[in-house]
Amino acid sequence: GTPIICAFGSCVRDMLSFIPRRVASRGWATSPSLLPRCLSTSPELCTLTTTSPTTLTLTLNRPPVNSLSLEMAAAVTAKIKEAESTPGATCLIVESHSPKVFCAGLDITEMHEPSSPRLTDFWSAIQDLFLALYTTPLTTVTSIRGHAPAGGCLLCLSCDYRVMTSGGSIGLNEARLGIAAPYWLADLFARTIGPREAEVGLGLGKMYSPQEALEIGLVDELSEDVSKRCVEVAEEWSKVPHRGRSLAKAMTRRALAEELVRRKQEDIEWFEGMVEDEAVQRGIGEYLAALSSKKK
């Protein structure tokens, strides 16, 4: 068969997209089973720093491209929970250590010849990450520098406000790898950019330039100094009473989150069936072989 071609070339090594793990039916509480292993990881896969009295910054720090492994997803989820418990914090900025890649999506090695327990835990961790970021009462602002395909786009879509530089690209390009985004991510994509654009974008695995993303509402604004602009946005949002803003956010996001909580096992089984398909495994193997040959 024809090897799968990476949409961005050599700068994006592991791409795909999805999200979080076992979530309680009330409050979307994260399962504690993954937290010890991610908190003990050294060096840290992501960091949480104080930007202002009301704003924290979560920095993705898994070189080279912040791909979402099971441990990475669990680590980000843990940092979100830590931010929520920080006294006085009302805003969270999500950024990358890299100026070229925000997040390249799922770690594709998690899906290559996987063991069933590991694959189940991996997708559950992705589900939990999505639920934690999508439903956090904190205002979330994404600083997008470089590429954000698939899972990277998922992280951006989960946030309240998205600021991107004029370089890079963003989108849900799973179709190019022979798979599909989960229903809940496709629904969020359609809610954000409109049903028709989402249908075309998902079907083609389209990656949007920053200007295109701005025009369709996939990002909220472009800035050459995204770090500074995200701090300004966080300060603007922090002027709104936190309780009122968080209640409004919960009302608009509850339905999608609660549906995923109800259908978590069904979604896990769908993902496992898709990934374990022979044609998908063959394509992933060819893709990894192509990446390996580029390194030589």
- Annotation says 61 is catalytic: no
- Annotation says 106 is catalytic: yes
**What pairs with residue 226 in β-bridges?**
none
- Annotation says 212 is catalytic: no
Query: How does DSSP assign 99-121, residue by residue?
Result: SSBS---B-GGGGSS--HHHHHH
Tokens 């669990």 locate to: 74
173, 177, 178, 256: the active-site residue: 173
CA dist 111 and 119 (Å) reads: 7
- Annotation says 174 is catalytic: yes
34, 106, 119, 177: the active-site residue: 106
105, 146, 151, 283: the active-site residue: 151
For the stretch 233-236, contacts whose Cβ atoms lie closer than 8 Å and that sit 24 or more positions apart, written own/partner, are 233/141, 233/161, 233/163, 234/51, 234/52, 234/54, 234/55, 234/91, 234/93, 234/139, 234/141, 235/52, 235/54, 235/55, 235/91
71, 95, 174, 197: the active-site residue: 174
Residue 5: left if φ>0, alpha if ψ -120 to 50, beta else—which one? Answer: beta
What pairing do the DSSP bridges indicate for beta strands 46-50 and 55-60?
antiparallel
Kindly give the interhelix angle for 151-158 and 183-193, rounded to the nearest 10 degrees.
60
DSSP letter at 54? S
**Six token digits for residue 38:** 């991610």
The residues carrying an active-site annotation are 106, 151, 173-174
